Amino acid sequence: MDVEQFARDGIASGAARDSVTDKLADRIVEIKKCDPGFAHDFAAAVVLEVENSLKMKGDLAGFEPSGVSMGEFGVGSRGAGDFFAHRQFPRIIGSGQAAVGVDEMDDAGVVSAGGQYIIATVDGMHSRLSDYPFLAGFHVTRATLRDVYVMGAKPVALISDIHVADDGDVAKIFEYTAGISVVSEMMDIPLVSGSTLRIGGDMVIGERLTGCVGAVGVAEHLTARKSTVPGDIILMSEGAGGGTIATAGIYSGYPEVVDKTINLSFLKACEALLKSDVLNEIHSMTDVTNGGLRGDVYEMAETADVRIVIEEENLRSLIDPDVLKMLDDLEIDYLGVSLDALLVVAPPSAAEEIVRIVGEAGVRMKKIGYVESGPADSKLLSSGEMIDFLPRFRESAYTPVKKVVDKTPGDFEEMKKKVAGAADRAIEKKMRVIELLKKDKNQ
């Protein structure tokens, strides 16, 4: 529970200070099981701080709301709303000296330094693995390393960030770190630094855990999405899923599926490719995560301005049988959920060698599609019929709660205007502060 938000909402409603304080104190006792006297003093201090914060005026005093909430717009849910929101970041960040920047929608960014490419990326842990910190650490580490590997880079370092709410047990930070360290040690990539904090400091009570893991890599040959060209074919490795599939198994009553996600197949396949001469023939790579194959293929087509056709014939055979059975039983669209499979885009002449090298690493891989000239588009060839292959508003609903919230908003276009307007205002504020700093520098 966010006690500061509770106080802000109470004050904004016009309720009296004593009323807000008393109600907040009751909630604190309910959650923390603490002394009522302490709860009242704590609540009174929170209300006082919120009242004081409302005295702040000017450009830095806050922000103008968009009127669209994160959940309502599907931000973080790897679908159409999320993709639109992410397209605003390049506008805010602007153009820089990146070899691969945020405008290209790869999961990792690249800069040139000393004759090599430096790759940097960060991944947030799955939000529903808060009570399973070891799994959270393991899967987020594997995810962030995937984002480095698919750029054709060798990961050289990991960094960690973990936040646990005020009432969370300290053991969570150690379990999370142990999960990271399994991947770190098995892949010989050191965890070199990190940060440990409480979520919201004193202002968030409960046991929720969140965090992220970042990775840095080096490369000489990039395999970014923009390098996809007409004539290429698309290969996909087998996948058993990661944090998303583990979450689906835990919360949908298929715990046996969780064990299937504990593997390093993707990373080993990439290591094998990086050590081979065929790497230089690969045009691009990515992992099947963001909104499943639907989302990743759509983003690849948009970034490279090509038409991508996915052939469904081989797809189901590349998914772990137990994982596929769970998805089918629960009526979860396997094409719209993260499978943590590797996609390799290359000329047909390189396909046999790529499949062979990945196979020698113990990972199956098959051809699943091809690339044609644009305009940007993604299609699915299923049972002889060519159909649109687009991301949904959200990724496939993979838990009971997600099935309840899985709906498209009534006026998505109007919401997009509001979200774009919020990005516009952020850009304007950015420029105002830059001008202010330039003025101070010249004085």
User: Tokens 């959200």 sit at which residue?
Assistant: 394
Report the number of distinct structural domains present in the chain: 4
Torsion, CA 58, CA 61, CA 65, CA 70, rounded to 10: 160
Q: Judge if 32 and 114 occupy the same domain.
A: no
5-19, 137-151, 272-286, 429-443: least confidently modelled range: 429-443
Q: 209 and 228, same structural domain?
A: no
How far is 330 from 388, CA to CA, in rounded Å?
A: 24
Residue 235 sits at φ, ψ, to 5 deg, of -110, 145
Query: 290 and 381: one domain?
Result: yes
Q: Model pTM?
A: 0.92
Q: What is the pLDDT of residues 316-348, one digit of tens each?
A: 999 999 999 999 999 999 999 999 999 999 999
Q: How confident is the model at residue 136 (pLDDT cuts 50, 70, 90)?
A: very high
pLDDT given for residue 102 in this prediction: 78
Does residue 398 have a pLDDT over 90? no
Q: Are residues 269 and 304 in the same domain?
A: yes
pLDDT tens digit string along 367-377? Answer: 999 999 979 99
- Predicted confidence band at 241 (pLDDT cuts at 50, 70, 90)? very high
Residue 134 has pLDDT above 90, yes or no: yes
* Residues 216, 228 within the same domain: no
**Domain ends where: 206, 222, 238?**
222
Q: What is the pLDDT of residues 176-212, one digit of tens each?
A: 999 999 999 999 999 999 999 999 999 999 999 999 9
Residues 281, 325 within the same domain: yes
Q: Is residue 275 domain-shared with residue 352, that is, in the same domain?
A: yes
pLDDT (0 to 100) of residue 271? 96
Q: What is the CATH number of the domain that holds 194?
A: 3.30.1330.10
Q: Which has the higher per-residue pLDDT, 292 or 137? A: 137
Range of the domain at 24: 3-53
Query: Is there a single domain that holds both residue 276 and residue 350?
Result: yes
What pLDDT was estimated at residue 262? 97
278 has a pLDDT exceeding 90 = yes
pLDDT digits (tens, 9 = 90+) for 80-116: 888 899 889 989 988 777 878 777 766 788 998 888 9
**Is residue 430 in some structural domain?**
yes
Whether 271 and 177 share a structural domain = no
**Same domain, yes or no: 273 and 344:** yes
Mean predicted confidence (pLDDT) in 391-420? 87
Q: How does residue 443 score in pLDDT terms, banded at 50, 70 and 90? A: low
